[in-house]
C-alpha cells in the first residue's frame, strides 16, 4: 500500500475510485490491463490520500444532486478499507450533502456500512451492485481467492434486501470451459431470485481479455487449469471479446428466468435506474394523490 495526492476525485459522470489496484486476486480482472497505465504493482494498492477533501468540496459545490458511483476499477471494500475507512467516510459525506450512492463490490465488508446505506436510501437512493461469477464454492476460491465466496455474497444480498436496500447483480465474467454451464447459471439465478434483486447485468456469457490482463489470466490457467490456456489460444486467438461456445443456450436460460421472475435484464435499463437520481417529492406526491 502507498499514498498519492491526486488532482481530482469525481469523473464527469460522477464516478470515483478512492483506491487504485486490488488485493482480491481475481484471475480474470480487466483492471490489470495495460490500457489503464498503472505505474505500480497491481497488489500494491494506491490510496488517494486527499480524496475525501476533494470529494467534500465537489459534493458541496454541486448545483444538482446526483448518484455517486464507485467500484468500477477497484473494489471499495478491499481489506484495507477495514482500517482506513475511506469508503465509509465518503458515504458520510454523500449522506451529509444529500446525494445518492451506488457501488460495485464482491465483499461482505459492505455490511459494516449498512447503517449509512439505509440513511442514504431513506433520503435519496442507495443501490449495491454485487458481482457473482460461479456457484461452485471451491472454484470460487480459485477464481477469486482473497474475497468472500458466492454463497456469502448471496447472504449479503438477502441482508440488504431485508433492509430495503435495492441490489443489482453483475453476472460476469463467465469463463469459457470453466464456469459456462447450465448448473452454474441456474444456481446464480436462484440466488438472485431468492434475494429479490432489482436487476442482473449480463451482456453475454463470456469475458474480455486484453494486454496485461491476458498474460496474468493465462499464467493462472496454467497453474490451476492445465490445458485450458491452449483452448483459449486455439478458439479465441488474441481477441478482446471471448464469448462462451454455450452463449446462446445460457442466454436463453438467463432471459427466460429473469423475465419470469420480474427482474430487469436489459443493461441500458439497469444503468438508467442506477444513475437516475430520485425525486422524492414527486414520489411522495404520487402516493398522496
**What are the residue boundaries of the structural domains of the chain, listed by start?**
2-278
Task: Tell me what the pLDDT averaged over the chain comes to.
Answer: 95
Tell me: pLDDT of 175 over 60.
yes
pTM, two decimals, is 0.94
**Mean pLDDT across 279-286:** 47
**Mean pLDDT across 70-77:** 94
Which pLDDT value is given to residue 280? 65
Tell me: pLDDT of 268 over 60.
yes
- At residue 284 the predicted structure's pLDDT band, cuts being 50, 70 and 90, is very low
Question: What are residue 41's phi and psi, to 5 degrees?
Answer: -60, 140
Q: Among residues of the chain, what percentage have pLDDT more than 90?
A: 94
Class of domain 2-278: alpha beta
Tell me: pLDDT of 254 over 50.
yes
C-alpha closest to that of 277 among 34, 68, 52: 68
Which pLDDT value is given to residue 279? 77
Amino acid at each position: 500500500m502507498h499514498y498519492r495526492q491526486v488532482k481530482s476525485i469525481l469523473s464527469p459522470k460522477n464516478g470515483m475510485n478512492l483506491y487504485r489496484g486490488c488485493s482480491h486476486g481475481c484471475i480474470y480482472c480487466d483492471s490489470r490491463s495495460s490500457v489503464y497505465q498503472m505505474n505500480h504493482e497491481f497488489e500494491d494498492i494506491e490510496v488517494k490520500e486527499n480524496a475525501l477533501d476533494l470529494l467534500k468540496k465537489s459534493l458541496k459545490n454541486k448545483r444538482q444532486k446526483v448518484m455517486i458511483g464507485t467500484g468500477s476499477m477497484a473494489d471499495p471494500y478491499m481489506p484495507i478499507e477495514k482500517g482506513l475507512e475511506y469508503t465509509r467516510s465518503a458515504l458520510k459525506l454523500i449522506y451529509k450533502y444529500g446525494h445518492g450512492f451506488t457501488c460495485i463490490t464482491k465483499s461482505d465488508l459492505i455490511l459494516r456500512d449498512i447503517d449509512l446505506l439505509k440513511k442514504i436510501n431513506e433520503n435519496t437512493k442507495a443501490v449495491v451492485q454485487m458481482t457473482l461469477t460461479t456457484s461452485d464454492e471451491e472454484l470460487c476460491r480459485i477464481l477469486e481467492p482473497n474475497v468472500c465466496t458466492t454463497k456469502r455474497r448471496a447472504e449479503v444480498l438477502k441482508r440488504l434486501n431485508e433492509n430495503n436496500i435495492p441490489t443489482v447483480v453483475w453476472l460476469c465474467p463467465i469463463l469459457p470451459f470453466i464456469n459456462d454451464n447450465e448448473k452454474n447459471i441456474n444456481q446464480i439465478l436462484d440466488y438472485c431470485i431468492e434475494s429479490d434483486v432489482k436487476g442482473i447485468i449480463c451482456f453475454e456469457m463470456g469475458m474480455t481479455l486484453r494486454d496485461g490482463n491476458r498474460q496474468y489470466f493465462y499464467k493462472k490457467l496454467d497453474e490451476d487449469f492445465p490445458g485450458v490456456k491452449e483452448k483459449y489460444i486455439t478458439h479465441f486467438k488474441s481477441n478482446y471479446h471471448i464469448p462462451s461456445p454455450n452463449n446462446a443456450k445460457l442466454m436463453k436460460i438467463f432471459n427466460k428466468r429473469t423475465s419470469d421472475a420480474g427482474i430487469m435484464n436489459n443493461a441500458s435499463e439497469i444503468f438508467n435506474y442506477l444513475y437516475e437520481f430520485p425525486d422524492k417529492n414527486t414520489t411522495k406526491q404520487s402516493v398522496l394523490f
